[in-house]
Amino acid sequence: MRYVESDILHLLKVGDEQCMRMIFKDYYRALCVYALKYLATVEDAEDVVQNVLIAFWENRKGSAFEGSLRAYLFGAVTKASFKFLERNGQIVFRDIEERADHFFEEMTYDEEELKAIKDRLYREIELLPDNARKVFNAIVLEGMTYKEVAERLNVSVNTVKTHYSHALKKLRERLGDLFVVALLCL
């Protein structure tokens, strides 16, 4: 179930923590995948996204928010990813950051386009190797944790993370810029 952005923003304005559960459910996985465009590991991406969401709550609760929540969150993850890279001595290209901000502000698709993107994502998921597909489906489509998936498949959490990273890499390669849009359609 996807939540209506205006409902999330209303709860934010009144300081209701439920808005963070809604944001997490709607955006967390897509934001993590998006952060992987810049960061090398799933763990780094999750850390950056969690920090962005915590900072968002701490800085915005009880106040009105203007603009697109989606654009703001993706822009914030982009900036936080670059700061993470800079802190770790890696090179950052600032023009990428500016283009990413504009990309998410201008991202509009009609229902037919979104359905086609979602259908393409499902086709690409089916082409993944068996273990990568099972892990991706469990994490993204069923909302399971790494630990729950590991228990279900009788493998280690690190094996789950490896399969998940492999699935994300393959889907990003095959879908390109549409990958994040496709995840948001789920």
pLDDT of 95 strictly over 50: no
pLDDT of 107 strictly over 80: no
Q: pLDDT (tens digit, 9 = 90+) per residue, 137-151?
A: 888 777 777 888 899
**Average pLDDT for 123-132:** 91
pLDDT of 160 strictly over 90: no
Distance CA 74, CA 32 (A): 10
- In terms of Cα–Cα distance, which of 131, 116, 132 is closest to 169? 132
Q: pLDDT (tens digit, 9 = 90+) per residue, 17-49?
A: 888 888 888 888 889 888 888 887 888 889 999
Calculate the alpha carbon distances from 38 to 95, 96, 133 in Å: 13, 10, 23
Per-residue buried b or exposed e for 53-68, using 16+ beta carbons within 10 Å of the residue's own CB:
beebeeebbeeebeee
Give the pLDDT score at 164.
85
Question: Mean pLDDT across the chain, nearest whole number?
Answer: 80
Element (H, E) at 130: helix 130-136
